[in-house]
Structures are given as C-alpha cells and as structure tokens.
Structure 1
Amino acid sequence: MINLIPLMIERVGVILIVVFLLSQSKSFRRIIHKDQGAAEKLMLIALFGLFGVISNYTGIQIHANSAAENSWLIGIEPDSAIANTRIMGIAIGSLLGGPLVGLGIGLIAGVHRFFLGGFTAAACAISAILAGGAAGWFGMIRRKKTPITPTFAVGIGMLMEVTQMGIILLVTRPFELAWDLVKVIGIPMVAVNGLGMLLFMLIIQFIFREQERTKVLQTSKAFYIADRTLPFFRQGLNPESCREVADIMLQLTDADAIAITDSEGVLAHVGAASDHHVPTKGFSTELTKKVLREGRVLTARSREEILCRHEPCPLRAAVVLPLMVHNKTVGTLKLYFNNPGDLTEGEKELAEGLANLFSTQLELAEAEQQSKLLKNAEIKALQAQVHPHFLFNAINTISVLCRTNPEKARKLLLELSQFFRSNLQGARQILIPLDKEMEHVKAYLSLEQARFPDRYEVIFEMEPGLEKSFVPPFILQPLVENSIRHAFARSNSKGKVTVKVFSDESFVNITVSDNGKGIPPEKLDVLGKEAVESRLGTGTALVNIRERLTGIYNKEALFEIKSKEGKGTTISISIPLEKKGAYDYHDDSIYSG
C-alpha cells in the first residue's frame, strides 16, 4: 500500500503538468473566467473528460494485490484493477461547471474506464458518473454562498474517492476480492487524489489572482495615461493635441503605432508606417471608416483586414475604437501592431478603457468650450455645482479599490463617468426624461456609498409609467445630496432617505424625505428663497431649483419644504404633466439619448 503512493503521485504530476501548460492558453483561461454558456460548458465537459481518460490510461494496474509497473494502460486483465487519479479531474471540472457538466465529464471518464476492463470496471464507471453529478451539485450550492476554496475542493475530492471505494465494495463480486483491493488502494487513492485536488485548485486560484493583478495594472495604467493626456484633450480634437496624445500612448503601451482621427480624416499618426499613414483629409484604411459608421470596436489581425492600400505596410494587426461624444462617433483611436500576437486581450481591454476615458475627456472639453459661450448665468452655476471634494474623494476611493477590489473599482469608474456625463448633458437641456435624472442620482449615490457603506439607506419608489416624464435637470440629485450632507451630519444612527415619484390628475409629484435632524424654524422660513449661510453650504442649490421651476413652468410648479427638528425634512416638487408650450423644447433642447 505504501509503495503505491509515490507511483500515484507521479500520475498526479502528469495531469498537473498538462493543466499548467493549458493554464497559459487564452482559451483555458476564458473557460475558467467567463460566465459559462452552452459552449463553455461543452468545453469543460470535453476538457475534463479528457483528463479522466488520461487518468485511466496512466493508472497503475493492481493484480493479486500488488502494483504492476506500467506507463500506459491499453487494456486491463479480467482479474485486475487500476489505481488512478480519475476522480480528481472529474471533481474539479464538476465544481467549476455544475451538475450537468459533472455528469457529462463522469460519463466520458466512466464509459472509457468500463471498456478498459478489469473486475471493477462497472463499479468504477458508476462511481465516476455519480461523482460528477454529486461534486457538481455540491459546487453549485457552495457558489451561491461563497467562492469555492481549496479546502472545500480537497474535501469533495476525498469524499468522492471514499464513495468510489464504497461502490466497489457494494457492486464488485466476489466481495473478498473487492475488500482485498480496497485495503490496498483505498488510503493511497483518497490521500493522493486529495493532494491532486489541492494542487489543481491552487493553479486555478493562481489564474484568478493573475487576472486580478492584470486588471489592477490596466486600471492604474489607464488612469496614468488619462492623466497625462487630459491637458491636451481639453483642447479638443485637433492635429496638435492629438499628436501629443499619440506620442504619450506610444511610450506607455506596447503598440507599434498610434493614430487618432476625427470624423473627416487622420489627425495624428506616430510610430510604424508613418511614411504613408500621414495626417490628411480622408482615411488610408477602410477599417476606420467602418468604425465611424458603426460606432463599435473592431479588430484586425492581418494586413488584408486592416485594408491598407500601401503594399509594403508593416502593420499586421489593429484595434480601432470609437471616440464618442453625446452618443455620436466623432473620431477614432487606433492601436497598430506589427505582430498580430502582440494584440493581446489585455491590450484590447486597456485600449477600450482609454477610449471611454478619452470620450469623457472630449465631452468635458466640449462642455468647457461651450461654457465660455453661455450667457445664462444660471446654467453656468449648474455646471459648477459639483463640489471639488466630491470628485477628489471619488477618485481616492476608486484608487484604493484598484488594489483591494478591482472589479468594484471598474464599476465605480463607470458610475463616475455616468455622473459627469449626466452633468454635462443636463447642462445643455431645459428638460430631460425623469429616468435620466434618476440615473444621475443613482450614479452619485454609488460613489458616496462606496465611501460611507451602511451610513444611510436610500429608497426609490416610482409609479410605473412616469419614467419618460420630462423634468428640468439637476432638481433631484441636489435634494438627495442635501439630505445626505446636512440631515445626518454628526449622527451615529443610520440615516434613511426616501425618494417618491407619483402622479395625480395633472402633476408629477416628487418628494425627498429623510429622518435626519431637521431644520431650525428660523432657517426654514427663508430656505429655498435666499442663500442661508451654514458650515456645510449656503442653500443656493434650493434657490436655483425654485427659480428654474418658476421660469420654466410660469408658477404652475410647486416647491415646498417641511421640517421638524429631530424628526426629519421633506421637500416636495409638483410639476405639470402637460404644460402649454412644453413641446416647444422637444425639437431643439430635450435630451434625446
């Protein structure tokens, strides 16, 4: 029995070498990482079923209670059995894929084991199928609560191996022969398969950790590039600014050439092929035209796909990304590679992140340019309402999460982008759909709650059918922000803010209520009518909302503040469902995204 352990460890080593080599391939990592659809599940069944088959072939033949040296089993004598690592591959694949995948893996490995022969063929085939289904079921239940750990996987693997020993004793006859076999192979197979499960899971955990490290590096790199390029994108899309941006990107990415275009021609191209990819009206590649038309990311992995008409062009791969401003494609960012193998998934993801950040920077640049031309001081005040501290705090929070929770950092980055995008879009509109205003509020809350988890709760109650009702921009977010900043200041209890939207015969009614400290009567009388100095602000946001409602709805809209000290505050807004002249805004002014 003891002599069997080193022989089985050698077999585990063979399987783990194969797994390690596979772990370096993109396909294997994609199967491990992706949400598994039908194609991924079939790949898991095929891959881990193959591991089971390899384990059968590399098993150690047991004859007359002694282990026979062999390198590759093609068949087993009728009075012999094998000790192998089949359960290890079945259990791992089943934990990753679930019960259906497990049954598929067990069926492949079990049927193959049956046809190899030996007096335990039927028992081993049955145990392989049962192990696949059971391990998959245990894995599915576990993943609903917490990720699968190596300890859990080892426990499942050893349990499945013990179960196999039990099935051999129950099914195989004569019983004495089965018992003698289990005494020889039982402990070595349970122990070595448990060790194999541990090493297998450590390899998979390494894949996940490496992916997380890559995400952190990509996010940090994208922020660094965005920070370096921001001063130039603030100038808009022009040859001088784009040339500077392209130079920075060529230094900080693995691309062989960088190009930036607007909707009419190439503004800058640096790096390889600069001799014929020159700034000009029009485009030298059909790929760019296609991205401008379709507004989506496209990749090419050959000169023919790039569609460059210059025969000796060294560029063999490219990823072309749209630069979007207000949902319109205004240009493209292009990363070119001389070797198609250099266009990795990581490079593509980095490029996509940069394109999104650049698009936001361009929107900021356009808004900055437009703000210089705006004569309406009220709209200027709205654009300036985002407190610098909010922006700095949000960036600091995301920066910390890049190291501790990169996936959440990516989500918060999108929320920050959504918040500022809504700010910029709203500043150019008189009326926007209510659901867009709600998105703006929720993006703001995501960023605030990341900084102060469990400090307060915000509840939204919206009457169905009101999502597309038109309201002035920036009337809801400042109210929610006021509740969070003022109502719960210096409070140790959990705050609660309720946002309700409902209608009556002729009005859309919006209320924002909190259970905070309330407002003193002397301030309540003037709040919303004039600025009120306090440690946390001046109340000009409320004044602005009231004045805009009056200007747009000609005193038909209602604005009311009710508060009791120690009980909380409720701010109510009522807007006409249909206002004479409201549709005058629809053609030119209303947000149409």
Structure 2
Amino acid sequence: MYELMLIMLERLGLIVMLAFIATRLRFFRDMISSAALSRKQQYKAIIFFGAFGIIGTYSGVTFQAEPFLLQRLKTDIFNHEAIANFRVIGVVLGGLFGGYKVGTAAGLIAGGHRMLLGGFTAFPCGIATIAAGISAAWIRTKNPEITAKPLLVFLIGAGAEMLQMALIVLLARPYTEALVLVQHIALPMILANGIGCALFLLIIKSVAKEEEKAAALQSQKVLRIAEQTLMHLKSGLTPQSADKVCTILYQELNLKGATIDDAENQLSHIGSSSNAAVIESLKSRDTVIGTLRFYFYSQKDVTSIEKETLSGLANLLSSQLELAEADKLYNLAKDAEINILQAQINPHFLFNTLNTVISLIRINPEKARTALRSLSKFIRQNLHSTTASLKTLENEVEHIKAYLSIEQIRFEDRIAVSYHIDDSCLHNKLPALTLQPIIENAVKHGFKGKIDQCKLSITVRDHKDNISLCIKDNGSGVRENRLVNLAADVSSSTEGNGIALYNINKRLQMTFGSDSGLHFKSRPDDGMAVYFNIPKIS
C-alpha cells in the first residue's frame, strides 16, 4: 500500500503539470470564466475533460493483488489485473465546471474507454466514472459556489473514489480478489484523487486571480490615460489636443506608433507604423468623428486583452469628447439664459423711468429737462450694458447715479444717497445691470409710503480675496419669514419685486458660483440690506 501511495503521488505531479498546461489554453480560460457555457464551449469541454480522464487512466499503474505486483500500464489488461489511476479527476471537474451535459459525456468517454481496456474491474470502474460526472454536476447545482472551495472539491474527488471502491466490491468477480484489491488500493487512490482534484482547482483559481490582476492593471492604465487626456480633450478634437493625446497613448501603452484622424484628415502621428495595428473609432452621439490607430512592434503583442483594453479606452475618449461638446453647449445655453434674463430687466427699467419723466413734464418742465438729460445718460449706459455680459464696477456706479438722479427728482429730493466705495474696486467686473435693479427695488418698494427722509447707502469694500457689496435702505423692510426665499424664486414676492432679485441672484450664481448669491438682512419698518461677494476680476 505504501509503495503504491508513493507511486500515485509521483504520478500526481504529471496530472498537475497537465492541468497547468491546460490553463494556458484560451478556450479553457474562457470556459472557466463563463457563467454559462455556450454549445460550442460545451463540446470543447466534453472533449477536454473526457480526454483528461483517459490520460488519468494511462498515467496510473496496473495492479495485481496476488501475487502483489505493480507495473507500468499496458494497452491490454488481463482479467486478474486492475488499474490504480486518476481518471475521476477530469470527470469530476467536468461535472463541476460544465454541468450535467459535460459531466455525463466526459464520464461516458473516460468510463467507456476504461471498460474497453478490460480486467475484472472494468465494468464497475466504468460505471463509477459515469456516476462521478453526474454526481459532481448535481452537487454544483445545489451549491454553485463549490468551485471556490478546494476542501469541498477534495472531498468530492475522494468521495468519487470511495464510490468506485464500493462498486468494485459489489460488482467485480471473483469477490475475494476484488476485496483484496480494494484493501490495497483504496486509501492511496482516495487520497491521490482527492488531492488531485483540489490541486487542479487551486491552479484554476490562480489563473483566475492572474487574469483579474491583469484586468485590474489594464483598468488602472486606462483610467490613468483618461485622467491625463481629459484636460486636453476639453477643447474637442483639434490638432493641438490630438498631439497631446497621441503622446500620452504612445508613452503609456509602449506603442511603436499612434495616429489620430478626424473624419477627413490626419490630426497627429507619433512613432512609426507597423502591420500589427489596432484601429478604433472615436464617436460622438453615435457618429464617428475620428479614428485611433495603435501600432505595435509585432502581432504577438496584439492580445485579446489588449484589444479589449483599447476598445474600452476608445470609448472613454469618445465619452470625453461628448462631454466637451456638452460643456460647450451648456456654456452657450448659460450665455443665452443670461441674455434672456438681462433682456427681461431692460423693459422694467425703461417703463418706470419713462413714467417718472412723463409726470415731471406736466408739473415742472425744468426738472423734466434735467430728468431727460439723466434719462439720456441712463439709456446710453443701459444699451452698453445689454451688449456685454460683464461691466466694470465704475460703469455700474455711473449707471445707478443716472438712475438715482431721476428718482431724486421724482421724490423731490427726499432721497439721500451716500457712497462708500474703495477706488481699488472700480475696475473689477460683475454682471451688467446688477446694482440698478436692487436700488430700484429699494426706491420703489422700500420707500413706498415713507414720509420721513429716505436714506440709501451703497458700500463697496476691497478685501484680500474678494469684494463685498452692500446696498442698505431705511425703508419699510421685509418680514423675516420671507427673507429665506426672497431671491430663490420669481414667485417669492407678492409685491412685484421678485423677478428683479431672482434675475440678479441667478446671474451672479451662474457667473461666479453659488457662493456669490444675494443675501438679505431686514426687519419690518427697519429697512433692508442686500449684500453679496464677488471674486476679483479685472
């Protein structure tokens, strides 16, 4: 028994070597990584595991119980001889990885071959082999995760050999020779085949981990390339961006050469061309807008994993180009929205100003002429504001002075205006028509019905990182529960001033970000302060 055990463990090295060679084959890798085998894969798996079972038979040794004799396996087996072998390894693994069809068919191939070899154990060994394939497949259906547990696979392989020993005792004749045979070969074969199944599985798992590691490295490389190319493709597919991307691809992928074309011309090329090339399309909204050509040093470098990586990389670059196009469209839409909001304000200004001039013409022609001069200046400033998205703070101050000169005439000089403006801020830019609507709200709504002196304070301070602006009045103020949503929505005001503050707040946030939105501080009958911060932009 011990001599047979040593021989079986020695022969097991051959089985392990064959298993390792098998894992280098592409069809085998595809098979073990597939959740469900296709019909073509099933046929390949049947042939592979059936042939592996036959090799397991021939890698064994012939055994004669009385007199005790071990020898190399021959092509013909005498009636008094049996085989100590590794046949069930291939059949069991076929059932575990391929299911009923593969396990049963591989068992029929390996088991049928064993019956043809002859010997007094041929029939029970053949039946046991078929049963091993079916049993392994049944266990897989009950426990789909079995192939990830080497210990359980060891027990399945050992159990298949136990079944074979039992069938030999039950079916082989003469009974006494069968019993003696089992006493000598049972333990070595049970241990060797169990160990063989577990080792085969461990080799398969190492291959799977190797592929996972390779895929992870490829993914990491693709993401690194995508991170580097993102800043260049923001401007779209241009000769300049193509040069940068080509250089990155050439260096990161260790290529012989790389080329980027648009729909008509070659935009960039680096390195040299070769016959070993992979070509991928660059798309935007399902339309081909360019081509990537990857040149390798030899055809053997163009593996299936490399092709999948390059295909994924092309998809990422296409997505970046789509994002660049979407970003351009967003900026255009943002500019259009700012222009629309600005256009909504202009009629509001003119309507109130013309009403003031009309009333002055009737009661005081001299003041009306003064108001018209101010109106002329106001309209000129207003027209300039509608042709530019950003204006200097100096222009905005001139604009509000023209407006307030008209309003002071309308209020019969009851409006006192104080300016506290740092000269260093006058060249800073902000959205056109920002201050005037805020001041108009203060005059129109804050001072409405006020009998006492109306005071308006305009403060602009230069800070280290930004500029703060505050417009404060001593008008009627706003209830505290309305302050939170005052500029958040057009419908936030029931007095008509909601759209002006909403438009200003929207334009400030679209231009400078959410931190530059309007803030309010007020109490009923105690005035109101509107304040906000803007970054320094000359």
Q: TM-score, normalised by structure 1?
A: 0.56
Q: Does 1:370 align with 2:371?
A: no
Alpha-carbon offset, residue 265 of structure 1: 2.5
Question: Pairwise mapping of residues 125-164 of structure 1 onto structure 2 (< 5 A)?
Answer: 125-143=126-144, 148-164=148-164
Q: How does 1:531-570 map to 2 (within 5 A)?
A: none
Q: Shift of residue 93 of structure 1?
A: 1.7
Alignment of 1:169-188 (within 5 A): 169-188=169-188
Aligned counterpart, 1:107: 108
Contact 2:147 2:153 in 1 (8 A): no
SS in 2 for 1:94: helix
CA 1:142–1:355 in 2, change beyond 3 Å: closer, same or farther? same
**C-alpha offsets along residues 374-406 of structure 1, whole Å, 9 cap, x if unaligned?**
33338999xxxxxxxxxxxxxxxxxxxxxxxxx
Distance in 2 separating the partners of 1:370 and 1:146: 53
Distance 1:202 1:527, change over 3 A: farther
Does 2:123 correspond to 1:122? yes
Residue 528 (structure 1) shift:
12
Distance in structure 2 (CA, Å) of the matches to 1:134 and 1:379: 75
Query: How far off is 1:132 after superposition?
Result: 0.5
Q: Match for 2:304 among 315, 340, 345? A: 345
1:27 Cα deviation after fit: 2.7
Check conservation: 1:90, 1:102, Cα contact below 8 A: yes
Q: What SS class does the counterpart of residue 3 from structure 1 fall into?
A: helix
- Three-state SS of the structure 2 residue aligned to 1:98 is helix
- Is the CA contact 1:90–1:131 (under 8 Å) kept in the aligned structure 2? yes
Q: Quote the Cα distance in structure 1 between the aligned partners of 2:87 and 2:74.
A: 14
- Decide whether the 8 Å contact of 1:172 with 1:178 is kept in 2: yes
Q: C-alpha distance in 1, partners of 2:135/2:57? A: 20
C-alpha distance 201-146 of structure 1, shift in aligned 2 (>3 A): closer
Give the Cα–Cα distance (whole angstroms) in 2 for the partners of residues 527 and 185 of structure 1.
91
* Residue 67 of structure 1: how far off its partner (Å): 6.1
Partner of 1:328: 287
Unaligned runs of at least 5 residues, structure 1: 274-314, 382-521, 534-542, 548-593
* Corresponding residue number in structure 2 for 1:208: 208
Higher helix share: 2
CA contact (8 A) 2:281 2:314 kept: yes
Kindly provide the CA deviation profile for residues 215-257 of structure 1, in whole angstroms up to 9, marking residues without a partner as x.
2111111111111111211121122211221111111114322
Q: Using a 3 Å threshold, how does the CA distance of structure 1 residues 379 and 4 change in structure 2: closer, same or farther?
A: farther
1:527, distance to aligned residue in structure 2 (A):
11
SS of 1:268's equivalent?
Answer: strand
Identity %: 37
Report the 3-state secondary structure (helix = DSSP H, G, I; strand = E; otherwise coil) of the residue aligned with 2:223.
Answer: helix
Shift, 1:316, TM fit: 2.4
Q: Is the alpha carbon distance of 1:527 and 1:165 closer, same or farther for their aligned partners in structure 2, counting shifts above 3 Å?
A: farther
Q: Which runs of 5+ in 2 are unaligned?
A: 342-480, 493-501, 507-538
Residue 267 of structure 2 corresponds to 267
Partner of 1:256: 256
Partner of 1:247: 247
Q: 1:79 to 1:330 in 2, by over 3 A?
A: same
Does the CA contact (< 8 Å) of 1:56 and 1:73 recur in 2? no
- TM superposition shift of 1:269: 2.0
Larger Rg: 2
- TM-fit CA distance, 1:202: 0.7
CA distance in 2 between counterparts of 1:379 and 1:15 reads 78
* Corresponding residue SS for 1:368: helix
**One-letter identity of the residue aligned with 1:102:** G
Give 1:56 deviation, angstroms.
1.3
TM superposition score normalised by structure 2: 0.62
Q: Relative to structure 1, is the Cα distance of residues 162 and 371 closer, same or farther in structure 2, using a 3 angstrom cutoff?
A: same
Distance (Å, rounded) in 1 between the aligned partners of 2:215 and 2:302: 17
| Residues 371 and 380 in structure 1, CA contact (< 8 A), matched pair in contact too | no
Moved over 3 A (4+): 65-72, 145-148, 378-381, 525-529
Quote the RMSD (CA, aligned, Å). 2.8
1:47 match: 48
1:198 corresponds in structure 2 to: 198
C-alpha distance in 2, partners of 1:203/1:356?
34
Tell me what 2:91 maps to: 90
